[in-house]
Amino acid sequence: MVDWEGPLSEAYDRALTYLEALPERRVGPRATAAELHEALGGPLPTGATDPREVVEHLAKGVDDGLLPSGSGRFFGFVFGGATPASLAADWLTTVWDQNAGLYAASPAAAVVEDVTARWLVELFGLPAGTSVGFVTGAQMANFTALAAARHEVLRRAGWDVERQGLSGSPRIRVLAGAERHDTIDRALRFLGLGTDCIEPIPVDDQGRMRADALAEALRENGRGAVPTIVCAQAGNVNTGAFDPVAEVCETAHAHGAWVHVDGAFGIWARVSSGLRQLVDGVEQADSWATDAHKWLNVPYDSGLVFCAHPEPHRAAMSIRAAYLIQDENGERDSLDYNPEFSRRARGIPVYAAIRALGREGIAEIVDRCHAMAERFADHLRTADVEILNDVVLNQVLVRFDDDDAITRRVVTEVQNEGTCWMSGTTWQGKAAMRISVSNWTTGPEDIDRSAEAVLRCLQQVRG
């Protein structure tokens, strides 16, 4: 009999040890790259090793190189952690090892994803009938949505891009805020449109696309039907600010454009009664990208793409092959909505997360993260530290002594100190520290300890 128990119980013990130590663990890696190579490297194994030993060796070898991003005092990038239900469901997703591309390859995965898709559409208040894809992240969600957009705006111009490609096609205008996320540009590269197709729309001091500037750019379309895609953003990765989505949709639709919204984390504001006005009108867009691995705190990797028009979504993604069994009875074949062929049933942990939290639990996480971001900003302001953004959501941009070098040194110092972890950025030409509160466990004590640590590091840097 195969020994599953040995490696799995080893993994279970180590998982619990890791998770239970997380709240007090140093928030930063402890090993250098050289030390990690030393611990994990060596020649290509030629013979077998006992699986339990492999798990043990691996867990010991990586430990000091882990960035404990599941900590309540991890404020780097926009990461989020993992809730118990989503993490446990993610384990089982691996155990079941379903190929979730086709209904026939996993009826269970197809139905779980179908149910989850409908929950998400309702949660975000998107139009009934919106199609959903469970992808790896907002990068691939942006890619998938923009593929659907590319299909549709060219179809209206009498061009079949899936068959004819882009050589000789009508030109597509892509209008996107100057502070869009870089994954929009990368998606356009993948789609053969190239970054030169982007016409950046000026933004205000918070990074919000200016609706008047968009209207002016769209006027150039004149009366002709120019294939046009507008990329709006719900939640700027630095400031958390939202483009005026309702106005953007109205203006763009008046010119026949497709509106895509990158709401990687910001669209979750829809779930909060206090914050939902930030995303008013978002349901009028044509497609949306978001993440489950950020604010929903589902383990990596888990992104979501939504399309108000299932036809272009399917036209851009679908694939038929003679040897496949594709469902004729309306059950979900995810390869109609995803760029992957074989794929992990990554909707399962999303299902578990939503089921465990419910709408109220999700709203509570969003509201608490917002309150904790405000609390962090308040602590720093009280100590005369400059906050560069309006803290409308979960992002805080901090600048020290109005000085790039000091700001960067404080970021480095904080990372070395280990109480909390955040990274730096450049915002409108100025160096800044980014604080992103995205973890489901972060509470007031985490914020107070972290703010104290930041101020300690500032004193250190000032000498």
Give me the residues that bind ligand PLP (CB under 6 A), please: 78, 137-139, 181, 183, 235, 237, 262, 264-265, 291, 303
C-beta of 181 vs 260, nearer to ligand PLP: 181
C-beta of 144 vs 419, nearer to ligand PLP: 144
C-beta of 295 vs 400, nearer to ligand PLP: 295
Neighbours of 329 (CB within 10 A): 5
C-beta of 104 vs 178, nearer to ligand PLP: 178
Collapse the DSSP code of 277 into the 3-class scheme (helix H, G, I; strand E, B; otherwise coil) and give the result: helix
C-beta of 130 vs 183, nearer to ligand PLP: 183
Secondary structure (DSSP) of 116-159: HHHHHHHHHTPPTT-EEEEESSHHHHHHHHHHHHHHHHHHHTT-
Angle CA 152–157–161, to nearest 5: 55
Neighbours of 310 (CB within 10 A): 15
Neighbours of 349 (CB within 10 A): 30
Shortest distance (Å) from residue 152 CB to ligand PLP = 22
Which residue is at the shortest CB distance from ligand PLP?
A: 137
- C-alpha 77/C-alpha 294 separation (Å) is 10
User: Please, what's the b/e burial string for 437-448 (b: 16 or more CB within 10 A of its CB; e: otherwise)?
Assistant: bbbbbbeeebbe
Shortest distance (Å) from residue 135 CB to ligand PLP = 9
Shortest distance (Å) from residue 146 CB to ligand PLP = 12
Neighbours of 384 (CB within 10 A): 7
Diameter of the chain measured on Cα atoms? 73
Q: In whole angstroms, what separates CA 377 from the centre of its chain? A: 23
C-beta of 133 vs 303, nearer to ligand PLP: 303
Shortest distance (Å) from residue 301 CB to ligand PLP = 7
Shortest distance (Å) from residue 400 CB to ligand PLP = 24
Shortest distance (Å) from residue 295 CB to ligand PLP = 10
Shortest distance (Å) from residue 137 CB to ligand PLP = 3
The residues near 215 (Cβ < 8 Å, ≥ 6 apart) are 251
Angle CA 246–248–249, to nearest 5: 65
- C-alpha 127/C-alpha 131 separation (Å) is 10
C-beta of 72 vs 137, nearer to ligand PLP: 137
C-beta of 262 vs 286, nearer to ligand PLP: 262
Shortest distance (Å) from residue 195 CB to ligand PLP = 16
Evaluate the CA torsion angle 423, 426, 427, 431 in order and state its sign: positive
* Among candidate residues 129, 131, 99, the one with its CA nearest the CA of residue 307: 131
Backbone angles phi, psi at 325, to 5 degrees: -110, 100
Shortest distance (Å) from residue 2 CB to ligand PLP = 36
Do you find a cis peptide bond into 446, omega within 30 degrees of 0?
no
C-beta of 140 vs 348, nearer to ligand PLP: 140
